[in-house]
Amino acid sequence: MINKIEEYLGNDAQYLLVHQCKTIDKSMLHLPGPDFIDRIMSQTDRSTPVLRNMQLILDSGMLSGTGYVSILPVDQGIEHSAGASFAPNPLYFDPEKIVELAIEGGCNFELS
């Protein structure tokens, strides 16, 4: 597995895989986990509906219950020029190709 990751990262692999941040102490990080909402977000001023919806997101999909979430951004053309995001892969200007990419990547399309 690590060999595949190194292959994807190319020439930057060693730098990226052994990097240690010297500017932010690790005690300042809030790491993901199944209890993230209770441990971190419930200590804020977010409303109960917001906390419930965030928990729903964290409990959905292939990463359900891990505290991680993966979101496929398909609206980049609204906020940024689509050319910046898709120029290397012009096929992905086509919305159908974005859906095919999501399916191939195992994304779920749960709507509530």
Structural domain that includes position 109 = 71-112
Establish if 32 belongs to a structural domain: no
Find, among 21, 56, 17, the residue nearest to 36 by Cα: 56
Establish if 76 belongs to a structural domain: yes
The CA-CA-CA angle for residues 64, 69, 74, to 5°, reads 125
**pLDDT reported for residue 26:** 87
Question: What is the pTM (predicted TM-score) of this model?
Answer: 0.56
**pLDDT reported for residue 49:** 96
State the sign of the Cα–Cα–Cα–Cα dihedral 70, 74, 79, 85.
positive
Establish if 13 belongs to a structural domain: no
Establish if 109 belongs to a structural domain: yes
Q: Are 72 and 105 in contact (CB under 8 A)?
A: yes
**Mind listing the pLDDT tens digit for each residue in 85-107?**
556 666 666 777 777 877 887 77
Mean pLDDT, rounded, of the chain: 81
**pLDDT reported for residue 55:** 94
CA 94, CA 100: separation in Å to the nearest integer? 10
Percent of the chain with pLDDT over 90: 38
Establish if 96 belongs to a structural domain: yes
**pLDDT reported for residue 46:** 95
Establish if 18 belongs to a structural domain: no
Find, among 62, 54, 51, 58, the residue nearest to 34 by Cα: 58
Name 55's Cβ contacts closer than 8 Å, sequence gap at least 6. 37
Q: How many domains, the chain?
A: 1
**Mind listing the pLDDT tens digit for each residue in 35-81?**
999 999 999 999 999 999 999 999 988 889 999 987 776 665 545 55
Establish if 108 belongs to a structural domain: yes
Establish if 21 belongs to a structural domain: no
